[in-house]
Chain A
Amino acid sequence: MVVLREGMCPGLDADLLRDLRAADIKTVEDVVSSDIEELAQRCSVSYKALFAIRRVLLAQHAAFPVSGADLYEELLSSTAIISTGSPSLDKLLDSGVYTGEITELSGGPGSGKSQVCFSVAVHVSLHLKQSVIFIDTTGGLSASRLLQMLRAETSDTEEQMEALQRIHVFRLFNIFSLLDCLFTLRSGRLQQACVGGGSVKAVIVDSVSAVISPLLGGKQNEGMSLMIQVAGVLKTMAKDFNVAALVTNHVTRSESGGVKPGLGVSWSHIPRTRVLLERREGGADSSLRSATLIKSSRQPCHIKAEFDLQSWSRSKEGSSGKRKLEETDS
């Protein structure tokens, strides 16, 4: 749906535009879908001129086919797989979070969604030396926790500070500012936003459900339309800039008592990969979490993995004193 404007293509002048408007032809879509012959008679313009205009408009607005071989070449050269920092989660995700697609983490409160997001951010900024965009909609981003994770990876303070500088944080608390932000990033500022920090490799939205769910339900379907727009802009951004889009979602309880990701069926088609995180039964102190793959195009579904939130704050030498006794309760 693009409105017809003067000078859009050769031959489309003010007079013709007025005639078309009188015939209720306002947008490119209207021109393309109407019967040219009939239209030429109604507006008393030459059939040839209208036909030429239609061809130009079609060429301007159509998509190009790309050969599979070219795509494969591109895929090999540009796709990156980002580790989550947890070997078992990486295995579940077929070695990590892929760029160019949306990956979703869902789970109840305290199931470790934000922690996985932090870990991905830390991994990209520290090991890959690339930038991360972190959109925080719940106020859950804790920079001191990021620092704690960085300290477990490296003891070099300068390296830690550089890594922190490569994580760019937006704090947005409603859907309109989220959309604004995503569209601004989409329209080319993604790369500009992070001057001198390498290219952006991951866009993390924690959590996408927090801003969408207040609008869903009820009698108006505006919420649904906004949700699909968020999905659309995230998808094109992931594909065009080759970044990994990682989003988190809450869970709802179905009638049978099981847990499933929130935001309904329409959203369930959006992420390419979906992971459900759950607390292990046991004490509230336990740092063990289980992850179940519920949608994937690479791995068999419903495989499970276990991971430990503590592992991200424990340094590789195992010298951290934060180990908990509760870890043995599995």
Chain B
Amino acid sequence: MQCSVSSLSLSPAVKSRLTAAGFSLLSELQGLPPSQICAEAGVSQQEALQVLQAVRGSPVRIAPPLTALQLLQEEQQQRSIISFCSQLDAALGGGLPVGKTTEICGAPGVGKTQLCLQLAVDVQVPVCFGGLGGQAVFVDTEGSFLLQRVQDFAGAAVKHCSLLVEDDEQRVAMTTFNVETILSNIFLVRCHDYVELLAELHLLPDFLSEHPRVRLLVIDSMAFPFRLHFDELSQRTRLLNGLAQQFIAMASSHHIAVVITNQMTTRLRGSQSQLVPALGESWGHAPTIRLLLQWAGTQRLAVIFKSPGHPGSTVEYQINSDGFRDAVQSEQPPSKRPRTHTIQSAAGQRDSNQSAPGPRHCS
């Protein structure tokens, strides 16, 4: 069995003409002059050239396989984006992984956007502090991007890093790490409906090539544009599935972390109702990691619902005026940590010191 013509990435009309003319296998097209293809299949000269290009290109389009060992080295080189919540970072193996897609689902007000804003700030922590020193693209579909909060988070992050300065390299890095540069390194895109979102996502790969420092793409939220204005559900599913593949291709080719937020919806099963992430069953497969944020009484919990690399677990967190942090009641991780983890453990410690008098919840 050989590669057949219908598997080529050509327009369906050209393919059906080729098949009608009797060409069904690629090997039959190989080595033919374009004029003969034109004459036999009745396609234009230009189309014939496209056909030949597709035929010739096919064996080299595939990159040689990586071995899992190379992949492991790649994974170890790519640093994760820390969330300033040491428990969550530990559960995710050092933070939000770069090169993967992560979905954050949760009820309104539980802190989805806050976590996204926090990540947009954290991705910029200089490399010498164990961060990524990157930039962030924030696609806002709900109009929930709060500049005031970003400013607060940025201020807290800068203050925190300035307390950690030990050597000259870090001192130099601190001169450029301030609230203003943090704000200027966040690119905000406001999309009002799903057409704008689709268009923006088609343009993004070019933008990412022009801005190689971008390490984080946030879509806040995916659910809002896709839950409105859709009469035909199958079209929505198809669009979403296509987008999912686009996200993961972008994440792995540009080495960025893609973070998508999603709303919750109610599913009725008999007389019982259950809160589940929106956008349907098949969307659930789209993100590599799925994080559920939920309330348990007055506590906020983050549940790792799906992750290929980590067991499911539940951690507690809180949101205060400085951002997304460890919950106060929780036990602190041991302070002896390897160098790359200085920030998380220190963040944890500082929180416990600062908020020792009593729990501070800001809602």
Residues of A within 8 A of B (CB): 1-3, 5, 26-27, 30, 108-110, 114-115, 118, 121, 133-134, 137-148, 161, 164-174, 176-177, 179-181, 183-184, 186-187, 193, 207, 209-211, 213-218, 220, 222, 225-226, 229, 232-233, 236, 250-253, 257, 262, 283-287, 309-310, 313, 322, 324
User: Do B72 and A146 have beta carbons less than 8 Å apart?
Assistant: yes
* A107: min CB distance to chain B, Å: 10
Would you call B72 and A144 a contact (CB within 8 A)?
yes
Write the residues of chain B forming the contact surface with A, with a CB cutoff of 8 angstroms: 1-4, 6-9, 12, 19, 21-25, 28, 58-59, 61-69, 71-72, 74-76, 93, 99-101, 234-235, 237-238, 241-242, 244-246, 248-249, 251-252, 269, 281-282, 284-286, 288, 290, 292, 303, 305-314
Complex Cα spacing A137 to B99, Å? 13
Q: Evaluate contact between B238 and A217: CB separation under 8 angstroms.
A: yes
Tell which of B2, B76, B281, B309 touches A108, judged by Cβ atoms closer than 8 Å: B281
Asked if A214 meets B314 with Cβ closer than 8 Å, knowing A139-B288, A165-B67, the reply is no
Whether A287 and B312, one on each chain, are in contact in the complex, defined by CB atoms closer than 8 angstroms, is: yes
Q: Which of A30, A225, A236 has the most CB of B within 10 A?
A: A225
A30→B101 CA distance, assembly (Å): 51
Interface pair B25/A2, CB less than 8 Å apart: yes
| A139 and B100 contacting across the interface, CB-CB below 8 Å | yes
Closest-by-CB residue of B relative to A232 is B1
Judge whether A168 and B2 touch: CB under 8 Å. Answer: no
* In contact, A170 and B65 (Cβ under 8 angstroms): yes
Among A2, A184, A214, the residue within 8 A (CB) of B242 is A214
Please determine whether B292 and A140 come into contact, CB atoms closer than 8 angstroms.
no
**Contact status A145-B65, CB under 8 Å:** no
| Given known A168-B65, A169-B68, A171-B252, contact A2–B28 (CB-CB < 8 A) | yes
Q: How many A-B residue contacts, CB cutoff 8 Å?
A: 200
Chain A residues with Cβ below 8 Å from B61 are 177, 180
Q: Hey, which chain A residues are within 8 Å of B71, CB to CB? A: 141, 143, 169
Question: What separation, in Å, do the CA atoms of A181 and B65 have in the docked complex?
Answer: 10
Complex Cα distance, B288 from A142, in Å, reads 10
Q: Are A164 and B282 in contact (CB under 8 A)?
A: no
Q: A184-B62, A213-B238, A262-B282 are in contact. Are A164 and B67 (CB under 8 A)?
A: yes
- The answer, among B4, B75, B269, for a CB contact under 8 Å with A144, is B75
| Chain A interface helix/strand/loop/mixed | mixed
A211→B283 CA distance, assembly (Å): 13
Which residues of A sit under 8 angstroms from B288, Cβ to Cβ?
Answer: 138-140
* Cβ–Cβ contact A236 & B28, under 8 A: no
Q: In the complex where A110-B305, A133-B65 touch, is A217 in contact with B237 (Cβ < 8 A)?
A: yes
Given the known inter-chain contacts A109-B306, A236-B1, please indicate yes or no for A169 contacting B62, CB distance below 8 A: no
Closest to A162 in B: B69
Checking A108, A169, A170 against B284 with a beta-carbon cut-off of 8 angstroms, the contacting residue is: A108
Offer 12 A-B interface pairs, CB within 8 angstroms, sorted by A: A1-B22, A143-B68, A144-B93, A146-B72, A179-B7, A193-B64, A207-B285, A209-B285, A210-B241, A210-B244, A213-B237, A284-B314
Determine whether the beta carbon of B69 is less than 8 Å from that of A165: yes
- Collect the chain A residues with CB atoms within 8 Å of residue B307's CB: 110
Q: Once the chains bind, are B7 and A144 in contact (CB under 8 Å)?
A: no
* A144 contacts B282, C-beta separation under 8 Å: no
Residue contact B67 to A216, C-beta cutoff 8 Å:
no
Contact indicator A147/B72 (Cβ below 8 Å): yes
Instruction: Give the chain A neighbours of B269 by CB distance below 8 A.
Output: 257
